[in-house]
Amino acid sequence: MLRVRPIGPIDPPIGIGEDYLTRLDRELDSRGVRLSDGEVIAVASKVVSYSQGRVVPISWWSKVGDLARRIAEHYGAEPWKTAAVLEEADLLLGGYRGYLFTYKNGIPVGSAGIDRSNSPPGHVVLHPVDPDGEARRIVEWFLERWGVAVGAIIVDSRLTLFRRGVLGVALGVWGLRPLRDLRGKPDIYGKPLRFTVVNVADSLAAAAALVMGESA
Amino acid sequence: MLRVRPIGPIDPPIGIGEDYLTRLDRELDSRGVRLSDGEVIAVASKVVSYSQGRVVPISWWSKVGDLARRIAEHYGAEPWKTAAVLEEADLLLGGYRGYLFTYKNGIPVGSAGIDRSNSPPGHVVLHPVDPDGEARRIVEWFLERWGVAVGAIIVDSRLTLFRRGVLGVALGVWGLRPLRDLRGKPDIYGKPLRFTVVNVADSLAAAAALVMGESA
C-alpha cells in the first residue's frame, strides 16, 4: 500500500531566507504527525528556493550582454530572461517562439526553471541550488532530531513529450534508491526481464505533486 | 490523502482471451474489498492485452514486405519486428541502432509497445486496442454490478526524456478528469497562474505502477 498524506498548505508560506526545516519540524509537531523509518518526505522545490533566498527581482538582469541579446533575438525571447537563463541553465538545448529549452538539475525544463508563478510581483523564483544536498539535509535532520530514517525528495513539476499537463519529478533525492532495477528478474513466464528499471523517485514525486496542489 | 492499494498479484495470471473484468470482480470479492464512489481502478495494460487476445507468435510476421525490409535495414532493426511495428504503430517517429521509435495510444513508445516481457516464449504482447474504451467498460461494469461510480485507468510504463527508468502512464482513462486545469487560479501572491495544468491521470498511473511491481 502506498499512502501519500499532505501536511500543507502551511500558512503563512515559507518566507524568503526562512529555514524550511525548522518550519517543517514545527508543522509536523503541531499536527501530531509521527514519522516512521522508511517514510519519504516530499518537499516542493519552491519551498527550498524560498528558503535559499532564490527569489530575485527581474531588474537583476537589467544589463544584458551581447551573447544573451543575440540569443534572445534569434529565438524571440525576452532579453532579461535570456540573460537569466544563460546564468542559470546547465545546458541551453534550443528555443522556439520566445521559449528557451534548457537542462537543469537533471531534468529538461523551460527557462532553467525560472518561474514567475508564486513569486512576489516583479520577481522570479529560481531553481534551488543542490537539490540532492537539500534532500540529504532533510534526511540528516530527521535522523538527528526525530531518530527516524526517512527518505527525502525535492519535488518540481515538468512537462512530458507528447502529453498535456505537468507531472511531479524528483529534482533531488536522498535516503532511498531512486531506481528499482528489475533486469534479470523473472517475468511471469520465468524469462529474465531485459530492460525494466522503475524510476521510484519520479513515481513518488508524481504522486506527491498530485496531493500538493498548485503551490509546487 | 492519496491511497494506492494493490490487489494483486493474481494467481494464476489472466489467460489469453480470459475476461479480466469477471476475474477482477472475483478477486476483489474474495479479498473483501469494498469500493466507494470516486475511487480509481488501475489495470495493467498487459492484463487488457491478454484479455483481448493480443498475444501473438512472432512467426505471425514471417513474411516481411518490401517497405518493412528497407526500414529494418536503414535502422538496423529486426525485419519481423519492423513489419509488426508498421502494422501496429500510429506513427513511426524514427529509429536508431536497432530501435524503432513510435507513437501509439497517445504515448511515445518503443516498437509500438510490442513487448516480449511477460509473454509466452516465441510470442509478443501487443498494446491493447482502444484503451479508453476498456477504461469505460470498467467504469460501466462497476456501476452496474456494484453500484459505485469509480474512475478507471489502463496503466502502461514509458520512458522519459533525459531520465533513467520507466514511469507509469495512463494509456486509457474513463470516469475522471485526466487534467486539472489551474490556469487563472491565484498563486500565493494572488497573481493568476498562467500555464499550470496537472496531468492527474498520468500522476495516478505513476503511483499505481509503483505499487504494481514488475508485471505492468
Contact between chains at A106 and B162 (C-beta distance less than 8 A): yes
Residues in Cβ contact with B58 at an 8 Å cutoff, skipping those fewer than 6 apart: B80, B122, B123, B124
Helix (H) or strand (E) holding B82: helix B79-88
Number of domains within chain A:
2
Collect all residues with Cβ–Cβ distance below 8 Å to B105 and sequence separation of at least 6: B90, B113, B127, B128, B131, B156, B171, B172
CA distances from B198 to A159, A216, B92 (A): 9, 11, 28
B133 and B210 inside one domain: yes
Instruction: Report whether pLDDT(B147) > 70.
Output: yes
Residue A15 domain flag: no
Say whether both A156 and A211 belong to one domain. yes
B contact residues 11-70, partner A, Cβ 8 Å cutoff: 13
B113 in contact with A, Cβ within 8 Å: no
Q: Measure the CA dihedral B43/B47/B49/B53, to 10°.
A: -140
User: Could you tell me the residue range of the domain that residue B68 belongs to?
Assistant: 56-124
Q: Cβ of B184 under 8 Å from any chain A Cβ?
A: no
Segment 122-151 of chain A within 8 Å of chain B by CB: none
ipTM value for the complex: 0.91
β-strand partners of B152:
B41, B174
Cβ contact A185–B119 (<8 Å): no
Asked, for residue B4, whether it belongs to a domain, the answer is no
A61 shares a domain with A168: no
Q: How far is A10 from chain B (nearest CA, A)?
A: 11
Give the residue from B98, B124, B150 where a domain finishes: B124
pLDDT given at position A190: 80
User: How many Cα atoms are found within 13 Å in the side-chain-facing hemisphere of A61?
Assistant: 22
CA distance A29 to A23: 10
Nearest Cβ partner of B166 from A103, A168, A197? Answer: A197
User: Closest Cα of chain A to B170: distance in Å?
Assistant: 10
Decide if pLDDT at B214 tops 70. Answer: no
Comparing CA positions, the residue from B39, B113, B196 lying closest to residue A115 is B196
Cα dihedral sign for B133, B134, B135, B138? positive
* Closest CA relative to residue A104, chosen from A96, A115, A92: A92
The answer to whether residue A2 sits within a structural domain is no
Is B11 a domain residue? no
B24 lies in the same domain as B74: no
Is the pLDDT score of B171 beyond 50? Answer: yes
Q: What is the pLDDT of residue A179?
A: 94
Residues A47 and A149 in one domain: yes
pLDDT at B216: 46
- A107 in B contact zone (CB under 8 Å): yes
- pLDDT truncated to tens, each residue of chain A (216 aa)? 899 999 878 889 899 999 999 999 999 999 999 999 999 999 999 999 999 999 999 999 999 999 999 999 999 999 999 999 999 999 999 999 999 999 999 999 999 999 998 899 999 999 999 999 999 999 999 999 999 999 999 999 988 888 999 999 999 999 999 999 888 888 877 888 777 789 999 999 999 999 987 544
User: Which residues in chain B have Cβ-Cβ distances shorter than 8 Å to A177?
Assistant: none
- Same-domain status, B68 and B142: no
Distance of residue A109 Cα from the nearest chain B Cα, in angstroms: 11
Contact B89, B107 (CB under 8 A): no
- Residue that terminates a domain, selected from B124, B145, B170: B124
Q: Are residues B99 and B83 in the same domain?
A: yes
CB contact under 8 A, B162 and A206: no
Position A12 in a domain: no
Angle (CA) A176 A179 A182, round 5°: 125
Q: What is the CATH number of the domain that holds B103?
A: 3.90.1660.10
CB contact burial A193-205 (16+ within 10 A = b; e otherwise):
beebebbbbbbbb
Residue B117 pLDDT > 70: yes
Distance in Å, alpha carbon of A132 to nearest chain B alpha carbon: 15
Q: What are phi and psi of B55, to 5 degrees?
A: -125, 115
Nearest CA in chain A to B123: A189
Q: What is the model's pLDDT at position A160? A: 86
pLDDT digits (tens, 9 = 90+) for B86-97: 999 999 999 999
**Nearest CA to A81 among B205, B119, A92, B79?**
A92
Contact list, B99 vs chain A (CB under 8 Å)? none
Which tens digits make up the pLDDT trace of B48-86? 999 999 999 999 999 999 999 999 999 999 999 999 999
Query: Is B211 near chain A, with CB under 8 Å?
Result: yes
> Is B106 in CB contact (< 8 Å) with chain A?
yes
Inter-chain CB pairs, A–B, below 8 Å: 179
Residues 6+ apart with CB under 8 A from B145: B25
| Domain shared by B62 and B157, yes or no | no
**Which residue, of A102, A124, A146, is where some domain finishes?**
A124
* Helix, strand, or coil (residue A46): helix
Cell numbers linked to A152:
527525502
- CATH (domain of B169): 3.30.1330.100
In angstroms, the separation between the Cα of residue A3 and the nearest Cα of chain B is 5
Assess whether A110 and A60 both reside in one domain.
yes
Is B214 within 8 Å of A4 when comparing Cβ atoms? no
Residues B158 and B180 in one domain: yes
Stretch (H or E) spanning B66? helix B66-75
**Residue from A39, A189, A200 to probe the interface with B (highest B Cβ count within 10 Å):** A189
Q: Which residues of A touch B206 (CB under 8 A)?
A: 167, 202-203, 206-207
- Alpha-carbon torsion (B158, B162, B164, B168), positive or negative: negative
Nearest to A90 by CA among B165, B160, B162, B159: B162
Same domain, A43 and A140: yes
Residues B83 and B102 in one domain: yes
Residue A209 with chain B: CB contacts under 8 Å: 198, 203
